[in-house]
């Protein structure tokens, strides 16, 4: 019986888990992924059956008995996934007992309750771990017993609102979640894929994915630069997809649109005056269709950052031109691709004192930017009607809004992390290079 159960589990364990055991990088022409965001229930759902004049209530959602409450906000490993349409709760419990029932930290859960799992499966799990690496170690042991095994994070998008995703750490940087209330950290992925690290992360509003840039290399002569790749990281599976060649990805509040900067072509110019990164691309992630915005000028300058307004109706574009830094705005969902730059002109925002800009986002009619001058960068809120700027914080390394632009964080490389004006102390020697939430 045990041998039969093991073979059945091997055949079906992968069904509820998309992706592979290890993170992999693949190329996709378009990306359209949605996940459930339902938090695991602390109480079980009920069904009601009426018999004559009496009502009987029976528990049907979470396996009962010795299994206890399902795990939450932890790493685990999955050894079997059983379709709820063809497998009863009792049969799922039998599988658990047969496979890993001797482990006190194992059990059965319903995949519908977790955004990291495909819905519609009873899932046999084993172990609860603080890190992915520890979960991977258990997988290696279980696979040695001929069990199929995948490590997965069990959590919810709602919990992510209380945590900031950062790229940083100590001597070996990686992705971490930082609790905004306590500063406690936990690794998201213990390994990374590029020695240079990621840039400009942008998390979708549903918390399921993140877009970022890798591989960009600057050069004084534009024909010899490397434009870089925009990749997507799926938090549920750990899978990376190459989305496009480009920089500065900015996810729309709807999680269905992505804006980024790209390049058209290189004109050989011995003086190095030709522009690069001059295109703005707005991709519909549902169908992969791109709207490309091409400046009409011969030497239009460089696109250096992008950010959406809180309502998603305006895209702000920062550019570095021969006339200095400029910020433009337009609605790419209704604007034609003719030339939005020259038609409206740059916004009059009083940014002439900066020699570099990074856009953070808009909230309550104020565009938040990081403006740098002679190597010192300040977080400034600029009134979009008057153009007046107010310094929010001085000497910052970065800043980010949450998905709905309700809460603001900023940081220096050596901390602390500041959440809506309140400092959050980080562990000693913990550095932050990039962050989003």
Q: In what order do the strands lie in the sheet with 315-321?
A: 302-308, 315-321, 324-330
Mean pLDDT check: name the lowest of 113-122, 125-134, 158-167.
Answer: 158-167
| Higher pLDDT pick, 35 / 99 | 99
Is the pLDDT confidence value at 391 over 80?
yes
Confidence grade of residue 283 (pLDDT, cut at 50, 70, 90): very high
- Express each pLDDT in 47-72 by its tens digit: 333 333 333 333 334 443 334 566 77
Name all domains of the chain by residue range, CATH numbers in brackets. 2-41+56-154 (no CATH), 193-406 (2.120.10.30)
Q: What is the pLDDT of residue 36?
A: 31
Using 50, 70 and 90 to split pLDDT, how confident is the model at 77?
confident
Percent of the chain's residues with pLDDT above 90 = 10
What is the pLDDT, as a whole number, of residue 338?
58
User: Which of 3-12, 73-82, 303-312, 367-376 has the weakest average pLDDT?
Assistant: 3-12
Q: Is the pLDDT of residue 6 over 50?
A: no
311-363 residue pLDDT tens: 888 899 888 877 778 888 888 877 665 556 555 567 888 787 888 889 998 98
| Segment among 102-106, 273-277, 358-362 with least mean pLDDT | 273-277
Phi then psi dihedrals of residue 296, to 5 deg:
-85, -10
Let me know if 145 is exposed, middle or buried by CB neighbors in 10 A (0-12, 13-18, 19+): exposed
Mean pLDDT across 32-44: 34
Quote the DSSP letter at residue 42.
Answer: S
Whether residue 32 is predicted with pLDDT greater than 50 in this model: the reply is no
- Can you tell me the distance from the alpha carbon of 412 to that of 414, in angstroms, rounded to the nearest whole number? 6
Residue 259 has pLDDT above 90, yes or no: yes
Nearest to 135 by CA among 75, 52, 193, 55: 75
Whole-angstrom distance, CA of residue 72 vs CA of residue 238: 18
Question: What is the C-alpha separation between 388 and 384, in angstroms, rounded?
Answer: 8
- pLDDT bracket for residue 296 (50, 70, 90): low
**What is the mean predicted confidence (pLDDT) over 200-206?**
83
pLDDT class for 404, splitting at 50, 70, 90?
low
CA count, 13 A, side-chain hemisphere, 356: 10
Rounded to the nearest angstrom, the gap between the alpha carbon of residue 199 and the centroid of all alpha carbons in its chain is: 12
For residues 152 and 313, the model is more confident at: 313
d(CA 217, CA 321): 20
* Pairing between β-strand 366-373 and β-strand 376-383 as defined by DSSP bridges: antiparallel
Task: Give the tens place of pLDDT for each residue, 182-192.
Answer: 888 877 755 45
For residue 76, what pLDDT is reported?
Answer: 84
Least confident of 74-88, 145-159, 326-340, 423-437: 145-159
Write down the pLDDT at residue 193: 46
* Residue 224, CA distances (Å) to 58, 270, 331, 354 in order: 68, 12, 33, 27
The pLDDT value given to residue 205: 76
d(CA 101, CA 97): 4
416: preceding bond cis by omega (within 30 degrees):
yes
Cβ proximity of 311 and 254 under 8 Å? no
CB 166 within 8 A of CB 432: yes
pTM metric for this prediction: 0.62
Q: What is the DSSP letter of 38?
A: P
Indicate the average pLDDT of the chain.
72
Average of per-residue pLDDT across 213-238:
69
Lowest mean pLDDT among 17-21, 111-115, 166-170, 354-358: 17-21
């Amino acid at each position: 019986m045990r041998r039969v159960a093991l073979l059945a589990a091997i055949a079906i364990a992968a069904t509820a888990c998309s992706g592979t055991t290890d993170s992999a990088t693949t190329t996709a022409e378009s990306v359209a992924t949605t996940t459930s965001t339902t938090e695991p229930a602390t109480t079980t759902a009920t069904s009601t059956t009426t018999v004559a004049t009496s009502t009987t209530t029976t528990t049907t959602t979470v396996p009962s008995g010795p299994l206890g409450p399902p795990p939450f906000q932890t790493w685990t490993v999955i050894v079997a996934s059983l379709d709820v349409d063809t497998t009863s709760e009792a049969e799922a419990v039998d599988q658990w007992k047969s496979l890993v029932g001797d482990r006190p930290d194992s059990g059965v859960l319903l995949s519908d309750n977790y955004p990291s799992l495909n819905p519609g499966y009873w899932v046999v799990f084993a172990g609860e771990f603080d890190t992915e690496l520890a979960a991977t170690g258990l997988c290696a042991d279980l696979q040695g017993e001929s069990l199929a095994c995948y490590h997965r994070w069990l959590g919810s998008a709602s919990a992510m609102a209380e945590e900031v995703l950062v790229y940083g750490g100590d001597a070996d940087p990686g992705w971490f979640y930082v609790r905004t209330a306590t500063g406690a950290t936990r690794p998201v992925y213990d390994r990374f894929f590029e020695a240079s690290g990621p840039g400009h992360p942008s998390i979708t509003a549903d918390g399921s994915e993140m877009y970022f840039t890798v591989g960009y290399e600057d050069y004084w002569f534009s024909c010899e630069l490397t434009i870089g790749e925009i990749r997507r990281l799926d938090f549920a599976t750990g899978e990376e997809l190459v989305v496009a060649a480009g920089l500065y990805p900015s996810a729309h509040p709807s999680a269905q649109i992505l804006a980024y900067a790209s390049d058209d072509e290189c004109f050989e110019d011995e003086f190095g005056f030709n522009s690069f990164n001059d295109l703005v691309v707005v991709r519909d992630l549902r169908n992969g269709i791109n709207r490309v915005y091409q400046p009409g000028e011969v030497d239009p300058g460089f696109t250096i950052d992008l950010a959406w307004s809180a309502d998603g109706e305006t895209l702000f574009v920062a550019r570095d031109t021969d006339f200095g830094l400029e910020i433009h705005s337009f609605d790419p969902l209704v604007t034609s691709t003719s030339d939005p730059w020259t038609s409206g002109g740059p916004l009059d925002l009083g940014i002439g004192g900066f020699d570099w800009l990074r856009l953070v986002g808009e909230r309550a009619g104020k565009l938040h930017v990081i403006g740098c001058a002679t190597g010192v960068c300040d977080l400034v809120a600029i009134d979009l009607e008057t153009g007046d700027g107010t310094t929010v914080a001085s000497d910052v390394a970065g800043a980010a809004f949450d998905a709905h632009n309700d809460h603001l964080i900023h940081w220096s490389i050596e901390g602390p992390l500041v959440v809506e004006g309140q400092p959050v102390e980080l562990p000693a020697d913990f550095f932050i290079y990039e962050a989003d939430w």
